Amino acid sequence: MIFRSKSTEETMMIAKELAEELKPGSVLGLKGNLGTGKTQFVKGICKYFDVKEVVNSPTFILVNEYTGTDNEGKKFSIYHFDLYRLNSAAELSVIGFDEYINKNSIVLIEWPELAEEYLGREIETVRFDYGDGDEERVIEVN
């Protein structure tokens, strides 16, 4: 499905709809150039799960951890990776990447290409691109 978002708010709304399908154990990749709205989308997912922490791209530390709450009030971790600055897939073993992927947590990964290489499989992915003008973004959910 292809969405044409006209604002940051609309991008967050699209994210919230997709968040309904996520649950602990889900891993979602977010692909697309800088500024296409990946982090904004993560904010929308986190809003759906009532995250209280500030959601920002973890550019220097690779991963942020937030606490999400499901609709039954159960708490779980959301791990938000940004692998833009990662140089090689092997570095993921250094940070113990495998342990983040588990049935109790949702994992959201900006720039997931090296994670796919590391895991040896494709991750379910949302693709982001620029659209017309400053504020349009094209968001493709498969």
Ligand X SMILES: Nc1ncnc2c1ncn2[C@@H]1O[C@H](COP(=O)(O)OP(=O)(O)O)[C@@H](O)[C@H]1O
Residues near ligand X (CB under 6 A) are 5-8, 10-11, 32, 34-40, 57, 110, 128, 135, 137
Q: How far is the CB of 74 from ligand X (least distance, A)?
A: 28
DSSP per residue, 24-60? TT-EEEEE--TTSSHHHHHHHHHHHTT--S-----TT
Q: Which residue of the chain is nearest ligand X when measured via CB?
A: 37
Nearest to 41 by CA among 117, 126, 105, 107: 126
Nearer to Mg ion, 57 or 67 (CB): 57
Nearer to ligand X, 70 or 140 (CB): 140
Q: Which residues of the chain form contacts with Mg ion (CB under 5 A)?
A: 38-39, 57, 110
- In the list ligand X, Mg ion, none, the entry touching 105 (Cβ below 5 to 8 angstroms by class) is none
CA distance linking residue 49 with residue 7, whole number of Å: 21
CA distance linking residue 47 with residue 31, whole number of Å: 20
- In the list ligand X, Mg ion, none, the entry touching 35 (Cβ below 5 to 8 angstroms by class) is ligand X
- In the list ligand X, Mg ion, none, the entry touching 8 (Cβ below 5 to 8 angstroms by class) is ligand X
Question: Contact 66/80 with Cβ under 8 angstroms?
Answer: yes
Alpha helices in 35-128 (DSSP H): 38-48, 91-94, 97-100, 113-119
Nearer to Mg ion, 31 or 92 (CB): 31
Nearer to ligand X, 12 or 27 (CB): 12
- In the list ligand X, Mg ion, none, the entry touching 80 (Cβ below 5 to 8 angstroms by class) is none
